[in-house]
Structure 1
Amino acid sequence: MEQVGLAATSDVTLWSLFMQAGFVVKLVMLGLIGASIWTWAIVVDKYVSFARVRRQLDQFEQVFWSGQSLEELYRTLSDRKSSGMAAIFVSAMREWKKSFERGAKSPIGLQMRIDKAMDVTLAREAETLEARLGSLATIGSSAPFIGLFGTVIGIMTSFQAIAGSKSTNLAVVAPGIAEALLATAIGLLAAIPAVIAYNKFSADAGKITSRLEGFTDEFSGILSRQIDERLTPRQAAE
């Protein structure tokens, strides 16, 4: 009896537990492993992309506040694929130039169009920052329950095996319960990094969005003063 117990214990490895699991439990484990891989892929992508966005914001702010003319900066950026503050700047300047080329007369209407263009671009940039964060939230909230489902199925199968063998020997029951609990462990392995990453990247996205909103407000004020300088004398002369 002791030899049987030792043999069963020596066979209780992660790989053997996976191979001995039933079809449903295997399917749950494979799904959770896939979710874990997807989580880490998102984590790496977001870490790299957020670092790049912060670097681009710092570079743009340094150039923008260096005293370079808005027209010159717009000519430099207009032919490039811009993102972040640069995209907001280009959208505002594009609307500015179009309006004056068509003979804009209303300062209020021009200001509203420029603000609208910047708001649309800001919303698009915020959406890009938050892309795939929903996947992390879904994995973080659902993976433990999916793993628990696999555990319940595995334990039910173990009890059925006990009933069939008419033996309550721990050496007989242990492998089935162990493979069932492995599903819960894999679920937690997928969920914990997903929750941590979601909280971190959500906070980072919020901070970057706040920086974009602050620039939008500042640039709107700058353009508002320039609109007053250009249109108010013209309206007074008319």
Structure 2
Amino acid sequence: MESSALPELATSLSVWSLFWQAGWIVKLVMIGLLVASIWTWAIIIDKLIAYRRMRATLDRFEENFWSGQSLEELYRSLSERTTAGMGAIFVAAMAEWKKSFEKGARSPIGLQTRIDKAMDLALTREMEGLEGRLGFLATIGSSAPFIGLFGTVVGIMTSFQAIAGSKSTSLAVVAPGIAEALLATAIGLLAAIPAVVAYNKLSSDAGRLAMRMEGFADEFSAILSRQIDERIPQKA
């Protein structure tokens, strides 16, 4: 009798069976966590591809920038198309440079300040693009285990209610509710663990890309500062 019930119990404890047998609250928890997990992986894949492209873009720009061609030629070639990374910072600085000299800039300090602000704004926009949606990963990494725990609590309450209703503590009565609870916890961890690992890695990658762009902005600011001193001699 007991041995014949084991295959039946094993069937009822399959993942699909547990999902369909779960209460509507536990089902909503599981569905929400699965959707969050899928969206998490979509963000991870998208960011990995975007960061790889950004690294290639930075490498190409540095190669062109230090190739020996004039800043005017490089600016003309980059301003004709959409730029990203160091290219966007370079174009923003050169645009402010040309605009100021066309209007007859007389103050080297004021021109340098405007150029630095233009590069800072361009860098901020680039970083917003790189760091966009990373906050979602942090949110899922911190909240998914607790959402899964909520499903666990509801599943255990269901088990106790089943025990009270049947007045039996047999495995067949207790197991489905406990299994539902454990499944909700497992799905919560399935969503949280990749989100936490990916957030740490992607944040580190974004930080390294930001350091490269900030380093270029500082170096280019020094180059332009020397040219400003040559073009606009400071008054004694």
Shorter-normalised TM-score: what interval? over 0.9
> Which residue of 2 is the match for residue 19 of structure 1?
20
Question: What do the CA deviations read for 1:53-74 (whole angstroms, capped 9, x no partner)?
Answer: 0000000000000111000000
Cα distance in 1 between the residues matched to 2:107 and 2:5: 91
The answer to whether the Cα contact below 8 Å between 1:9 and 1:171 also exists between their aligned partners in 2 is: no
What root-mean-square deviation, in Å, do the aligned CA atoms of Structure 1 and Structure 2 show?
A: 1.1
The match for 2:212 is 211
Which residue is equivalent to 1:91? 92
Shift of 1:89: 0.1
1:160 counterpart residue number: 161
Residue of structure 2 equivalent to 1:56: 57
In structure 1, the partner of 2:39 is: 38
Q: Distance in 1 between matches of 2:8 and 2:105?
A: 87
- Paired residues of 2:11 and 2:17 also in contact (CA < 8 A): no
Shift of 1:220: 0.1
Partner residue, 1:122: 123
SS at match of 1:112: helix
**Within 2, Cα distance between the matches of 1:115 and 1:34?**
43
Residues 79-115 of structure 1: CA deviation (Å, up to 9, x unaligned): 2111100000000000000000000011001000000
Where does residue 101 of structure 1 map in the other structure? Answer: 102
Contact kept, 8 Å, 1:143 with 1:190, in 2: the verdict is: yes
Query: How far does residue 127 in structure 1 lie from its aligned partner after superposition?
Result: 1.1
Q: Secondary structure at the match of 1:232?
A: coil
Q: CA deviation at 1:173?
A: 0.7
Amino acid aligned to 1:60: F
TM-score, normalised to structure 2, is 0.97
1:166 Cα deviation after fit? 0.4
Deviation string, structure 1 residues 28-75 (Cα, Å, up to 9, x no partner): 000000000000000110000000000000000000001110000000
TM-score (norm: length of structure 1) = 0.97
Matched residues, number: 235
Which amino acid letter does the alignment assign opposite residue 104 of structure 1? A
Task: Determine the structure 2 residue equivalent to 1:133.
Answer: 134
Inter-partner Cα distance in structure 1 for 2:115 and 2:10: 71
- TM superposition shift of 1:170: 1.1
CA contact (8 A) 1:147 1:188 kept: yes
1:232 CA drift (Å):
1.1
Once the two structures are superposed, residues 124-147 of structure 1 have per-residue CA deviations (whole angstroms, 9 ceiling, x without a partner) of 111111000000000000000000
Question: Structure 1: which 5+ residue stretches go unaligned?
Answer: none
Q: Do 2:43 and 2:133's aligned partners in 1 also have CA atoms closer than 8 Å? A: yes
Moved more, 78-87 or 53-62: 78-87
Task: Give the match for residue 11 of structure 2.
Answer: 10
